[in-house]
Chain A
Amino acid sequence: MSTPAAPPPPRKTNRIGLDVLSYKGSKTTLCAGCGHNSISERVIECFYELGVEPWHVAKFSGIGCSSKSPAYFLGMAHAFNGVHGRMPALATGALLANSTLLGLGVAGDGDAASIGLGQFMHMVRRNVPLICIIEDNGVYGLTKGQFSATADLGSTQKGGAVNDLPPFDCCALALEWGATFVARSFSGDKKQLQAILKTAISHRGLSVIDVVSPCVTFNDHVGSTKSYAYMKEHDLALNELDYVPAYEDIAVEIAEGEAMDVPLHDGSHLRIRKLGHDFDPTSRLAALAAIEEAETKAEVLTGVLYVNTGKPTFLDLLNLPPEPIATLPESRVRPSRAVLEEVMEELR
């Protein structure tokens, strides 16, 4: 006599009825232990947990290890793997064509801080509504280990060569250029990165998320300032973050001065709890000062550095309609015969 097999447990699904598999991508081809893989996992979790329809997401990337990663999450989202450093242009064009897309861009530090620095800068200036994750490992992985422009002064290559230039800090640059949501995290900090990513999904405007994401093959040695070991010692969390989605009740009392509550565009909230020193995440100057101060102490400041929910996006500035202009019917994009005749008369 054998006991009948227990029925399989009911498939666990999110609020739109999709299981977590629906948010996965193809199997990663990045190195085992690569920080980028952890970031992909966080993306999968966040979109799953918030119940975002993946086919309304559009993924964009440039060239490099980081830019491969969109293949490894949200397999049910459209994606465009473009050319080196020019993810911002592709994403900008696509989001202008269809403003209803939820744009998710992935850049490496080569993309964002070197070849595509200009595009990164202008994307910030325009406040393109895009989640921009910079998978920052201070090194060119696919070309085997050259320093990138975010590598710290004095950090060493695997072979011993010393970096003789100071780094660009993508967060400080984005703040300077007027970014509306700026955060830094570490690929190994699951809770913090989740809260930041979820906030970015809700934020209306550009989110610049610099994630220190160690390269286990070329930049995880003693002497590197982007290694797991270095981050464990030097990561300084600025704040503790709680993301409360719109569909959850937030009627919890917050004691005055204990935490800041930031209402986001879609009705969700970001609750920022101060850690240690006094810091106002709605002040650009405070954020820049904090980064500067941390740098002198060799600390890597993580958390939400700045949030501004009031600035118009590029789509607002261009006066675009709520529906995608790409697919407007001919009657709305081809002016009438009378218009042509009017113009011809002016030219006669």
Chain B
Amino acid sequence: MSSLEVTPAEPLSVDAGRALVNDFSLQVATVNGSGSQTANTVLMRAIFQMGIPVSGKNMFPSNIAGLPTWFTIRASKHGYVGRRKEIDFLVAMNAETAREDVMKLEAGAAVVYDEPLKLGELRTDLHFYPVPFDKLVAPVCPDAKLRKLVRNMIYDGVVAQLLGIEMEEVHRALVKQFGKRKAKAAELNWGAAQAGFDYATSAFTKNDRCRVERMNLTAGKIIVDGNAACALGAMFAGVTVVAWYPITPSSTLVETLIGYMRRFRVDPETGKATYAIVQAEDELASIGMALGAGWAGARSMTATSGPGLSLMAEFIGLGYYADVPTVIYDVQRVGPSTGLPTRTQQGDLLSTAFLSHGDTKHPIFFPCSMEECFSMSIQAFDFAERFQTPVFVFTDLDLGMNNWMADAFVYPEKPMNRGKVLTAEDLDRLGGFARYGDVDGDGVGYRTLPGTNHPKAVYFTRGSGHNANAQYTEREDDYIGNMDRLAHKFETMRGEVPEPARELRAGARIGIVAIGSSDYAARESCDQLEAEHGVPVDYLRPRAFPFTTHLAEFIRGHDRVYVVDQNRDGQLLQLMRLELEPDSIARLRSVRYYGGMPIDARTITDEIVKQEAK
């Protein structure tokens, strides 16, 4: 048991004036592998279906079953769906963590708990709702083997009753969750939810502050995780060869993709697949296959996390030097391999920007939302073929594995850009080609695909030791010429990567720069700084590396710019320093969080307030 001291506190009085209507965080603490995921998803969906913006974050251990796990639902009428540190409503189902979970709550929070845990004795400044789960589950679930799974649904009913979630919406969410094929299971669970609701109705008098009221802010919206959004993006980008190796938190990206491809990318007439997905033997092989396929003209990809990128480093350097396109998803997590694989971080930025050995630098896209995971995936495949180079798409565990609300994805308007590829007819007309010649002045040569039916189509691909005609050379002028072309190509990319997103406020003297999943916390922090401290703050979110010129302009236009990093060493700030003038570098300040949880707005706000006071 926890050794935490019980601190005496003022007894509670009901304070209706401080009601938290559609603005609270609810946390469910359970044991990994107890089947709570369904109950939690149903709860989140029911709130979402009532028109209230939500997000769901699963904080889970690196374990199959038995260790504690927490699922946090944030409901926000303001649309804030980033993490919030404070928990307003706790459902304590895990004996192992219950005491500590309760002791961490702020005064006034509510606790639904499994009655035998006797948590009500711990504090006097919380609202406790004990529920005899085992007693309630027995009559609704005659099969004792299933009770462990079904009892979780009881708290959905209890919470629905206490928060005012409409039971019709719980039912709808439940049916959706189980699908038509598991109607029986849905029925069983619905009985449990109702039992919970009835118990709460008869046993409790509502005295905590959390409440939901129907709104209209989620009409037409979807709930999806970033890995699924990236998978859908890849499918609609026309990916044809996928090679991967399982690694948390990226595995579900490809697993989801497999499911969609089987449904939508098998030719209905011939029954043949229009894609190949290979679970490789390791990341050394998955990147090799992706590059081999990209070289042969396929839209290819792999998905991995930090440890996988380390293994891929050598091959990715070859891809850079030899101008081979592919798309690499990095769903970042805390390092190293035996680190905290189920915690989030933006820790791969510096190592990836220059991944491999020698003079290498790579374009990286930073989607921040489900919509961008989808749309920027499509852009990344176009970009890889346009520039004939490995392109990284960076997400992280928070974006990739958590549930996010989003607008319905928009179908790509532009046709696929397959880049500069010469056909047999082109070769007839041209009489030949120089693979690495910079004909157009953008640093990108014309390529042919193996198998092109023309004797002049062929060229020999190797690392850096080649001249413009792809012939072997170790001459210094050839080497320098090729390296300068690659550097020039990188500069061309700067003008074609997705532009930053900006939110500007009148009179702002300071700015915030953040990328990817830090966006939610950063924008909420801008609101907090203005509302609580009267400080207007401008915000810029680069959507890709290399940074566009907008970044330097933004910094020059502000007295101080706070760079938000979800890593210890301020990797985004460090990367920016490499591209900025000394005057701009002097304006940079660092806000860092690296505890493994998604960054929250309060952390950013507090740090900026602290530094501004200096």
A interface residues, Cβ below 8 angstroms from B: 22, 26, 53-56, 58, 60, 70-71, 75-83, 86, 88-98, 100-101, 118-119, 121-122, 318-321, 324-328, 330, 332-335, 337, 339-340, 343-344, 347-348
Contact = CB atoms under 8 A, between A and B. Distances in A.
A334 B416 contact: yes
B273 A86 contact: no
10 closest cross-chain pairs (CB), A and B: A89-B288, A93-B292, A93-B289, A78-B450, A97-B298, A333-B238, A97-B296, A347-B222, A93-B293, A90-B292
B236 A335 contact: yes
Interface in B378-415: 408-409, 411-412, 415
B295 A89 contact: no
A343 B408 CA distance: 9
Nearest to A58: B450
Given A320-B272, A321-B267, A324-B297, A80 B240 contact: no
B451 A56 contact: yes
Interface in B452-498: 452-455, 457-463, 471-472
A339 B411 CA distance: 10
Contacts of B220: 348
B248 to A, nearest CB: 22
A122 B411 CA distance: 38
Contacts of B415: 330
Interface stretch (B74-82, B209-217, B275-283): B275-283
A237 to B, nearest CB: 35
B260 A325 contact: no
Nearest to B292: A93
B531 to A, nearest CB: 32
A71 B274 contact: no
B318 A325 contact: no
A122 B240 CA distance: 21
Given A94-B293, A332-B267, A71 B450 contact: no
Of the listed residues A71, A77, A318, A327, the one surrounded by the most CB atoms of chain B closer than 10 A to its CB is A327
A118 B460 CA distance: 26
Contacts of B294: 93, 97
A321 B416 contact: no
A80 B458 CA distance: 11
A326 B454 contact: no
Contacts of A327: 297, 449
A118 B281 contact: yes
A347 B223 contact: yes
A78 B275 CA distance: 23
A14 B397 CA distance: 59
A86 B298 contact: no
B434 interface: no
A26 to B, nearest CB: 7
Interface in B418-452: 448-452
B315 interface: yes
Given A96-B293, A328-B274, A348-B221, 4 more contacts: A79-B458, A82-B292, A93-B296, A334-B416
Contacts of B232: 340, 343
Interface string B219-251: 011111000000010011111110100000000
B2 interface: no
B273 A320 contact: yes
A284 to B, nearest CB: 22
13 contacts: A53-B453, A55-B453, A56-B453, A80-B461, A93-B241, A93-B295, A98-B297, A319-B266, A319-B272, A326-B296, A332-B267, A332-B274, A335-B235
A339 B264 CA distance: 7
B513 interface: no
Contact of B240 (A56, A121, A328): A328
Contact of A82 (B276, B288, B416, B458): B288
A83 B292 contact: no
Nearest to B423: A327
B443 to A, nearest CB: 21
A122 B280 contact: yes
Contact of A96 (B238, B278, B450): B278
Most buried by B among A53, A54, A348: A348
B115 interface: no
B298 A96 contact: yes
B284 interface: yes
B292 A119 contact: no
Contact of A97 (B273, B297, B448): B297
Q: How large is the interface on B (under 10, 10 to 19, 20 to 34, 35 or more residues)?
A: 35 or more
B297 A348 contact: no
Contact of B285 (A26, A89, A98, A339): A89
B3 interface: no
Contacts of B322: 80
A107 to B, nearest CB: 13
Contacts of B274: 321, 325, 328, 332-333
A325 B240 contact: yes
Contacts of A101: 296, 450-451
A242 B471 CA distance: 37
A94 B285 CA distance: 13
Contacts of B449: 98, 326-327
Contacts of B448: 78
B281 A71 contact: no
A58 B451 contact: yes
A183 B314 CA distance: 32
A154 B299 CA distance: 49
Given A88-B285, A101-B450, A344-B408, A326 B223 contact: no
B276 A325 contact: yes
Contacts of A324: 296-297, 451
Given A92-B289, A122-B281, A321-B272, A333 B265 contact: yes
Given A96-B241, A96-B276, A324-B451, A71 B472 contact: yes
B285 A122 contact: yes
Contacts of A78: 448, 450-451, 457-461
B316 to A, nearest CB: 10
B14 to A, nearest CB: 37
Given A321-B270, A325-B240, A86 B288 contact: yes
B282 A118 contact: yes
A94 B411 contact: no
Contacts of B266: 319
B284 A119 contact: yes
A59 to B, nearest CB: 8
A333 B296 contact: no
Given A326-B240, A330-B416, A333-B240, A81 B460 contact: yes
A251 B314 CA distance: 53
A25 to B, nearest CB: 9
Nearest to B219: A348
A100 to B, nearest CB: 6
B381 to A, nearest CB: 10
A96 B278 CA distance: 10
Nearest to A93: B292
A55 B289 contact: no
A340 B297 contact: no
A325 to B, nearest CB: 4
A60 B289 CA distance: 12
Nearest to A80: B461
Contact of A348 (B222, B240, B264): B222
B344 interface: no
B291 interface: yes
A344 B285 contact: no
Given A55-B451, A326-B298, A335 B280 contact: no
A94 B300 CA distance: 10
B192 to A, nearest CB: 25
A206 B222 CA distance: 46
Nearest to B243: A93
A91 B461 CA distance: 13
B376 interface: no
